[in-house]
A = this chain, B = another copy of it.
Amino acid sequence: METSTNMRITTQRQVILEELAKVTSHPTANEVYDMVRRRLPRIGLGTVYRNLDLMAESGMILKIEVGGTQKRFDATTTPHYHIRCLECGRVNDIDMDFQSEINDAAADASHYQIFSHHIEFTGVCPMCAKQERHALAN
């Protein structure tokens, strides 16, 4: 639960973090594995899962639980929202104000103790929209 301060900085962790920081996409564990494996061919998928989870728990990265079948990870840890393409599954950050005040509305509307919220937009990304236009033209 607590941020473990005694987490060793191993080569594997270093590389996972570096590779995640390189991209603005929101790779799945398996995609991170592929990226990291180019530099550390013998790394195990289990290690990638374990370390992504540990880093997320300690707040170094974000574990994004959006729709779709896989969890995604993000090196940007400041609060922000996401948009997911219904066609291709791509997930992007969305650059709009963080609605910190809606937590209060939720607190009023429930008996939960509110920690945070996340907004996920769904739609069609520019690339898929383009393809659809092409398909319709034929």
Contacts and interface: CB of A to CB of B under 8 A. Distances in A.
A92 interface: yes
Contact of A121 (B66, B83, B103, B122): B103
Contact of A113 (B96, B108, B117, B129): B129
A2 interface: no
Given A65-B67, A65-B68, A68-B65, A113 B106 contact: no
Contacts of A125: 111-112
Contacts of A43: none
Contacts of A60: none
A116 B121 contact: yes
B124 A113 contact: yes
A39 interface: no
A94 to B, nearest CB: 5
Given A112-B123, A119-B119, 7 more contacts: A67-B118, A81-B106, A83-B114, A85-B112, A92-B112, A96-B102, A118-B122
19 contacts: A83-B106, A85-B112, A86-B115, A94-B109, A96-B102, A96-B108, A96-B109, A102-B119, A110-B121, A111-B126, A112-B121, A112-B126, A114-B121, A116-B121, A116-B123, A117-B120, A117-B121, A118-B122, A120-B120
